[in-house]
Amino acid sequence: MDTAAGQSLYPLHRSKTIHLVRHAQGFHNVEGDKNYEAYLSYDLLDASLTSLGWKQADNLREHVKRSGLSKRIELVIVSPLLRTMETAVGVFGGEASSDGINSTPLMNENVGDSGRLAISSLNSPPFIAVELCREHLGVHPCDKRRSINEYRNMFPAIDFSLIESDEDILWKPDIREKNEEVAARGLKFFEWLWTRKEKEIAVVTHSGFLFHTLSAFGNDCHPTVKNEICTHFANCELRSVVIIDKGKIGSDESSTNFPGKIPDGLDLPSDVADEKLSGNVIEK
């Protein structure tokens, strides 16, 4: 329920905490900053992280651990592109290892010619790849994904089961997805989040996807709040938001509510008794 003072009150079980992350610096970011035409180059197809990008991921990982966030996240959702999956496992995955620990690695050694050790899935939340949170589709080769079979060899512990096609059938070389189409896809993604039972979720995705999706939110907020929601993300920036199920999209019951009256007993409140005496309560 919204109040005139701009505050809102909703049942806790109709909310989720979402930690939104833009991927760390990729080679396409560097080349595109020098010359926008570079975004049209197939040399940047499914661009990986730069060495600086990996340092950004390492720094965010330290923040996530220091803040206690790493212990609360129940699920990591990631766009199925190399730069986002590298960022996701670098930030939220287990420890880097070369000693053959008996757990399926989230990332094998030297993926994307990164020179990085394999990253363990031990003590990490589950990871799932979702196409709905991909970057603008079409024209820019850096936003075209590889085959899922290739990715499975690179990221063995990421769950790709929700992706229907091995090859990228969504990306078109001559058609760039419109901004409003990205926003509509983003809203569909947020609706899909309500099908998940997890209450605290990290989403590792892209600048354009985040900007156009989040711009659809906050229109009933103070301009400062709207600005907090909608400004472009920096590389490897994390913002935490709470989403509310106003339309009863989700079906989860509260895990903390308690019905009371156990054992049963009389419990007529005094204010209701006063209303009954004044004749303002209609008996049913």
What residues are labeled active site? 23, 135
Cβ-contact 76, 125 below 8 angstroms: yes
Copy the structure tokens of residue 275.
């209303």
* Residues in the chain, total: 284
Does residue 263 have a cis bond before it (omega within 30 degrees)?
yes
C-alpha separations of 247 from 15, 194, 244, 250 in Å:
11, 11, 9, 8
Angle at 127 between CA 124 and CA 130, to 5 degrees: 165
C-alpha separations of 63 from 72, 187, 194, 205, 246 in Å:
13, 28, 27, 18, 32
Angle at 181 between CA 45 and CA 198, to 5 degrees: 85
Cβ-contact 94, 65 below 8 angstroms: no
Backbone angles phi, psi at 239, to 5 degrees: -130, 135
Q: Where are the beta strands (DSSP E) in the chain?
A: 15-22, 75-78, 96-97, 105-107, 118-120, 127-129, 158-159, 200-205, 238-244
Residue 276 CB partners (closer than 8 Å, separation 6+): none
Q: Which residues of 141-160 are buried (b: 16+ CB within 10 A; e: fewer)?
A: bbbbbbebeebeebbebbeb
